[in-house]
Amino acid sequence: MELIKVGVIGSGAMGSGIAQVAAMAGHEVHVYDANPVAAQSAANNLKLSIQKLVEKGKCSSEKADVILKNIFFQSSIDKLNYCELIIEAIVENLEVKKEVFSALESIVSDTCILASNTSSLSIASIASACNKPERFIGIHFFNPANIMPLVEIIPALQTDNKITNNSIELIKSWGKTVVVCKDTPGFIVNRVARSFYGEAIRLAEEGIADYATIDWAMKEIGGFKMGPFELMDFIGHDVNYKVTETVWEQLFFDPRFKPSLTQKRLYEAKRYGRKSSIGFYDYHEGAVNTEASKDVELGNYIFKRIISMLINEAIDTLYLNVASKEDIDLAMTKGVNYPKGLLRWADELGLGTVLEELESLMSTYEEDRYRPSVLLKHMVRENKHFYL
Ligand SMILES: NC(=O)c1ccc[n+]([C@@H]2O[C@H](COP(=O)([O-])OP(=O)(O)OC[C@H]3O[C@@H](n4cnc5c(N)ncnc54)[C@H](O)[C@@H]3O)[C@@H](O)[C@H]2O)c1
């Protein structure tokens, strides 16, 4: 792969990780942040992060020197004029992003690829701010970008196929696992994962089980690395609630994605989770949290309900052609560490079992959130599988 010059705008959590990945792949990287304090702290953190790799023997000190010398923190966006790819990772605000890209177009060459790392905004609408929207694409890394292997590539309606193919090849050459998805709310991971959180909260709201028991069930029976409540507290309710709300609004208020009042109140009370020492759990020193009941029958009920909701969403994502079945499974295992791809899991559990569970929930609650995907119904009727 040609070692093009890469620009990164925004040097926060994501921008600094993306700059590190690009520099480690051998590129000259130019980083610009509107806030000089943020840029300085990113420069310090990058040094520490690369030093750590040297200490762990994952990078030689000679290579570390080359990497660090290849990252330039620029005080003006104009200095990104020679870059051939620019990835934006600034504040999640459509108007601000549009302003940045329309300013960038007057600086860079006609062939420079412009990309956004947005988690929730429409790629088509950011692209519409450009004179040449065909060079615009979504390149969505996961946090921390230098560690998480997955990158979602999202061509907008306007994106030229050549730009999509070049972006896929380039990001693969950075050692990342690439999946391609349609420009739809939440892309793959942030769409499919919603019910892992939403159904868990619903179970707790109904008093069926407490947080600790639901977390225990999903880890012990489901094999997930973290339970939904631990994970939401880890991500932070400021981020997790906002993603849920945005995906729901952008899917025209589809009840399957409806946020919960429980999480909204945590967000409003600034009980963000680990970062504020309290969320679903209390992390203050000496705090005592409820222990899991470890009731296997209850655990099986919890697991079956949440996994059926997750599988239904993965199947609907396939049904609506958001991504291929292989990419949907890869996205969930590489982007959020699920123990198995959900479509493969569906085959193992039996599609009929999943449909039965959803139909039983639908008939009990009479709520559209339990609506089975049309594809699931077709596949059960025709006795089909995804992989077997
Ligand atoms: N944090 C995550 O888990 C995550 C994961 C994937 C994608 N994203 C997306 O990545 C983007 C950045 O998120 P983050 O978590 O790194 O945010 P952050 O708040 O850590 O960093 C944003 C940086 O952008 C800078 N900035 C703001 N406006 C700017 C402008 N006009 N010009 C230049 N710099 C500007 C800020 O000074 C800040 O340093 C967002 O679009 C977010 O949705 C975040």
Beta-strand (E) ranges in 94-135?
A: 113-116
Residue nearest to atom 4 of ligand 1 (CA): 143
pLDDT of residue 289: 96
Distances in whole angstroms, Cα of residue 213 to Cα of each of 35, 60, 233, 288, 292? 44, 45, 16, 15, 4
**What mean pLDDT comes out for the span 338-348?**
98
**Is the predicted pLDDT of residue 3 greater than 90, yes or no?**
no
**Half-sphere exposure (CA, 13 Å, Cβ side) for 145?**
27
pLDDT, tens digit (0-9, with 9 covering 90-100), for 359-376: 999 999 999 999 999 999
Determine the average pLDDT of the residues in 142-146. 93
Say whether 337 is catalytic.
no
Of ligand 1's listed atoms, the one at least distance from the Cα of 88 is 11
pLDDT at position 1: 67
Average pLDDT, the chain: 96
- Ligand 1 centroid vs 221 CA: distance in angstroms? 36
Catalytic residue list contains 190: yes
* pLDDT tens sequence across 84-132: 999 999 998 999 999 999 999 999 999 999 999 999 899 999 999 999 9
The fraction of the chain above a pLDDT of 70, given in percent, is 100
Cα separation, 255 vs 165, in Å, equals 35
Among 27, 30, 140, 237, which one carries the catalytic annotation? 140
Return the percentage of the chain with pLDDT > 90, whole number: 98
pLDDT in tens, 15-55: 999 999 999 999 999 999 999 999 999 999 999 999 999 99
- Angstrom distance (rounded) from CA 290 to CA 211: 8
Residue 118 Cα: closest atom of ligand 1: 41
Catalytic-residue membership of 30: no
| Residues within 6 Å of ligand 1 by CB | 9-15, 33-35, 38, 89-92, 96, 100, 117-119, 141-143
pLDDT grade, residue 388 (50/70/90)?
confident
The CA 92 to ligand 1 mean position distance, Å, reads: 7
Q: What residues pair up with 74 in beta bridges, in sequence order?
A: 32
